[in-house]
């Protein structure tokens, strides 16, 4: 059962979002037509889905570790979905893109235990760089279909992985 989003998770997500928006304005680091990488609702729903957020208070580091673990679970499920899709496909262009995604998500799943450990240990540089590799993997997977003008069967999964990794990075940046 998913825990209800706690008041502190909602407040923390609102502060985080305001902070990342201000930062984006200062540094012009924006994506997708000027928006930031995720919204408050995504943050609240993701963090609220984990029972541990009930005890995380206003601890950005603890929430970053939760987001990293959510990414691990997400990427693992996505890798399994890609495997299942490939079992049912011949050797068409979509299958070739999926095989590339299989390699990309395989890498994410392999790196995630170490990545989550770095986040928990507040090794921010290491944590951020491996989370950003997950961001790149999700983007590269999705781009593969786009470049071949094919419908991606894993758009939602790529978006979730992208946003969870970006959320974990933003939370880690706020953790001192």
Ligand X SMILES: *[C@@H]1O[C@H](CO)[C@@H](O)[C@H](O)[C@H]1NC(C)=O
Which residues contact ligand X (rule: CB under 6 A)?
Answer: 46, 49, 70, 73-74, 77, 160, 164
Q: Which of 137, 114, 110 is nearest to 126 (CA)?
A: 114
What is the closest distance, in whole angstroms, from the C-beta atom of residue 21 to ligand X in the complex?
Answer: 20
- The pair of three-digit structure tokens given for residue 67, joined into one six-digit string: 């987001």
92 secondary structure, DSSP code:
S
- The pair of three-digit structure tokens given for residue 122, joined into one six-digit string: 């507040």
- The pair of three-digit structure tokens given for residue 129, joined into one six-digit string: 């760089």
Nearer to ligand X, 20 or 53 (CB): 53
Q: Distance (Å, rounded) from C-alpha 92 to C-alpha 28?
A: 40
Nearer to ligand X, 97 or 138 (CB): 138
3-class DSSP state for residue 33? Answer: coil
Kindly give, in sequence order, each residue whose CB lies less than 8 Å from that of residue 48, ignoring residues fewer than 6 positions away: 2, 3, 4, 5, 6, 9
Residue of this chain nearest to ligand X (CB atom): 46
Nearer to ligand X, 83 or 92 (CB): 83
What is the closest distance, in whole angstroms, from the C-beta atom of residue 156 to ligand X in the complex?
Answer: 8
Nearer to ligand X, 49 or 136 (CB): 49
Nearer to ligand X, 9 or 46 (CB): 46
Is the Cβ–Cβ distance between 115 and 68 less than 8 Å? yes
Is the Cβ–Cβ distance between 55 and 45 less than 8 Å? no
What is the closest distance, in whole angstroms, from the C-beta atom of residue 92 to ligand X in the complex?
Answer: 26
What is the closest distance, in whole angstroms, from the C-beta atom of residue 81 to ligand X in the complex?
Answer: 8
What is the closest distance, in whole angstroms, from the C-beta atom of residue 171 to ligand X in the complex?
Answer: 13
97 secondary structure, DSSP code:
H
């Amino acid at each position: 059962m998913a825990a209800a989003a706690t008041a502190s998770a909602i407040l923390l997500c609102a502060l985080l979002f305001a902070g990342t928006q201000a930062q984006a304005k200062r540094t012009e680091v924006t994506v997708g037509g000027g928006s930031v990488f995720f919204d408050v609702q995504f943050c609240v729903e993701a963090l609220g889905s984990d029972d541990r957020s009930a005890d995380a208070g206003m601890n950005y580091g603890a929430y970053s570790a939760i987001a990293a673990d959510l990414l691990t679970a997400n990427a693992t499920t996505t890798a399994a979905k890609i495997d299942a899709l490939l079992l049912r496909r011949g050797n068409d262009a979509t299958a070739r893109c999926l095989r590339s995604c299989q390699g990309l998500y395989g890498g994410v799943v392999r790196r995630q235990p170490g990545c989550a450990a770095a986040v928990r240990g507040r090794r921010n540089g290491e944590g951020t760089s491996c989370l950003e590799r997950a961001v790149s993997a999700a983007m590269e997977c999705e781009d593969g279909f786009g470049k071949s003008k094919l419908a991606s069967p894993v758009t939602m999964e790529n978006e979730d992985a992208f946003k969870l990794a970006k959320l974990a990075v933003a939370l880690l940046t706020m953790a001192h």
